[in-house]
Amino acid sequence: MTVDAKALAENLTAAVPFARTVGITIADVRVDGDDISATATLPDEERLHNHVAGPHAGAIFALGETASGAVVMAAFGEHLALGTPLAVRAEIAYRKLATGPVRAVARLGRPVADVLAELTAGERPEFPVSIEVTRADGAVTTEMTVVWTIRPHR
């Protein structure tokens, strides 16, 4: 499968205006078999800061969720005729103080073929996308998992 990372990023930010509002950028999307990842960045802007001058927890969550959405689109975008992707739940752990610009790297947690097999069998598959948020010095500030589903069209 070949993914046009630039087109995917443009389509995602067009479909999800909130990502544009906070300045999230999809910097990279990679597909190598079932190893599917996306990198998103959040700028260091005062309007996004919390009380300790780092990015607000909500902005970090939005960054991770957006990166996970890019992974979902890279993995399943060509199958949208079958269903609508939706985030089901998320878990987030803030590990270290985030300061400056931050980036999130998201990775698909299940083989694409397994998810598609459940979907084509009429089921509503769930699959995790793990996310790691780092600051410029490489320190991991946040770990997150977003569980997604694809709701079959009826």
pLDDT tens digits for range 57-114? 999 999 999 999 999 999 999 999 999 999 999 999 999 999 999 999 999 999 999 9
Confidence tier at 3 by pLDDT (50, 70, 90): confident
Mean pLDDT of the chain: 94
**What is the CATH number assigned to the segment(s) 5-152?**
3.10.129.10
Instruction: Transcribe 16-66 into DSSP letters.
Output: -HHHHHHT-EEEEEEEETTEEEEEEEE---GGGB-TTSSB-HHHHHHHHHH
Boundaries of every domain in the chain: 5-152
- How far is it, in rounded angstroms, from Cα 152 to Cα 46? 41
- CB–CB of 131/144 below 8 Å? yes
Tokens of 84: 């609508």
- How far is it, in rounded angstroms, from Cα 77 to Cα 73? 4
Looking at residue 66, what is its pLDDT?
97
